[in-house]
Structure 1
Amino acid sequence: MQSVKKSICPARSVLNLLKGKYTLEILSEIIDGNIHYGTLLRSVEGINPRILAQRLRDFEQEGILSRKVLPTSPPQVEYKMTNKGIALRSIVDEMKKWEKTYGD
């Protein structure tokens, strides 16, 4: 059996979570409250619906957000940050500040 090599940097798992395409854009939209799939699709410029659905599934599996199907016609899906997801707010905010200060 091959042993799993631990990362030298303890922040690696967070970086791996945030490195996906459109991840920060999606989190930035959801982090301030509940939001529907269609709203996300319209507000994250250039995102493919398949990519959005995959990223949302990834976040749900990681425990970053919860998904609720609303009893409407047609059905709507609402996403809400979990406590684990809300804890990412300060990281996302700091990344935005860094970009404003040092970004190109």
Structure 2
Amino acid sequence: MSKGACALRILVAREVTGLSQLEVSQRAGIANNALNNMERARQFPNREIMRYYHRAHRIDFNFLMHGDFAQLPMDIQEALFAHLDTRQRTPQIVDGS
């Protein structure tokens, strides 16, 4: 549940949607720099972004905050795991980790 782990899951959730940071932040009703800070492990995900991902993409709080995936629909699990696997094979630097 570290900021770095949450940042990775927030980033992967956005990648699964196929949306840019700006598009997601606008749809979630948050400032773009807030989403950028979440994806760079400078802050934990806020309530608004978690609500957006759950309502719009079926990605719930338990996954974003804790990495728990059991409650996610199978198609969402598969998409998230594919992106996580890709990220693990191509290490990237996340600020604040």
Give yes or no for TM over 0.5: no
By percentage of residues, which structure has more helix?
2
Structure with max Cα Rg? 1
Shorter-chain TM-score bucket reads 0.3 to 0.5
Which fold has the larger relative contact order, with Cα–Cα distance below 8 Å and residues 6 or more apart in sequence?
A: 2
TM-score w.r.t. the length of structure 2 is 0.37
TM-score w.r.t. the length of structure 1 is 0.36
By percentage of residues, which structure has more strand?
1
